[in-house]
Amino acid sequence: MTVYQELAPAIDVNEFRKVVESRRSVRRFTDEEVPQTVIDDCLDMAMLVPNSSNLQPWEFYVVRSPELKAKLAEACLGQNAATTANVLIPIIARTNTWKKNSLRNIEYWPEETMPKIVRTYYSKVAPIHYNQGPLGALGLAKKAAGLIAGLKRAVPRGPYSISEMKAWAVKSTALAAENMMLGFRAHGFDTCPMEGFDERRVRKLLKLPDDAIVTMILGVGRRAPNGIYHRRYRFPREEFVHYL
């Protein structure tokens, strides 16, 4: 059996560091338009992030319509990052697409033959693991079973509830958002991830389904000279990193 190999290309870490260090939450943008090719490339890079069981629980709404952008900016409390952005991208986590996407993994498998263990996972294991059942009853049953089994061995702990499914979906979606932001920076554009918004109004404007979670709204554009309000700073690394 041929073992698949994918060699890592040589990377210039200084160029990557330049992208990371120059990424800032930009609050004001110029009137320059962001090319559609750049947006598409950054969306593609966003979707390359690692995500739970490759279930890809995200959706991205690219808002360029002046009318809808103005309404979204109002829902973002009139922040400069929203009112001056050339593009607004609400980044949405989904908790109910896991079943459909689990089966799509079988359909989209890139090799000629799918290993039996992988097929079993997506066709039998995942549909149970992520299913919370009516009113979360199945999740509670799985949690009880996990507590008992966990007395003797390591077991996966959750997601066991609708709230845990929300956290599950948002984690993968937030990773995608970071890839997208770094992608725009690499193209010479900037972003501002906004959490300050009226989610109810955003949901209504975008006509989102009930399971959708507005993780953040990304303002995108060319950095204005007064787009950054102050120098960046972080607390001491030693307070957050633990070597064991």
CATH of the domain at 53: 3.40.109.10
* Longest alpha-carbon distance in the chain: 61
44: how many CB neighbours lie within 10 A of its CB? Answer: 12
User: Could you tell me if 43 and 140 lie in one domain?
Assistant: no
Does residue 3 belong to any structural domain of this protein?
no
User: Could you tell me if 75 and 35 lie in one domain?
Assistant: yes
Does residue 15 belong to any structural domain of this protein?
no
User: Could you tell me if 31 and 87 lie in one domain?
Assistant: yes
Count of structural domains, the chain: 2
114, 149, 184 - which closes a domain? 149
User: Could you tell me if 76 and 105 lie in one domain?
Assistant: no
User: Could you tell me if 106 and 188 lie in one domain?
Assistant: no
CA pair distance 161, 140, nearest whole angstrom:
7
Q: What is the total residue count of the chain? A: 244
Angle at 60 between CA 28 and CA 156, to 5 degrees: 120
Residue 130 vs residues 9, 55, 104, 150, 198: alpha-carbon distances, Å: 35, 11, 15, 18, 29
CA dihedral angle for residue 152, residue 156, residue 159, residue 160, rounded to 10 degrees: -20
What domain range is 37 assigned to? Answer: 25-96+162-226
Residue 208 dihedral angles phi and psi, to the nearest 5°: -75, 150
User: Could you tell me if 119 and 167 lie in one domain?
Assistant: no
Where residue 177 falls (left for φ over 0; alpha for ψ -120 to 50; beta otherwise) is alpha
Angle at 180 between CA 76 and CA 16, to 5 degrees: 130
Query: What average pLDDT values come out for the chain (244 residues) when binned by 10 residues?
Result: 85 97 98 98 98 97 97 98 98 97 96 93 94 91 89 89 96 98 98 97 97 98 97 97 97
Does residue 238 belong to any structural domain of this protein?
no
User: Could you tell me if 90 and 114 lie in one domain?
Assistant: no
User: Could you tell me if 80 and 133 lie in one domain?
Assistant: no
Describe the chain by its helix, strand, coil percentages, rounded to 5: 45, 10, 40
pLDDT at residue 1 in the model: 60
Does residue 244 belong to any structural domain of this protein?
no
At 16, the amino acid letter reads F
Instruction: Give me 97's structure tokens.
Output: 């697409």
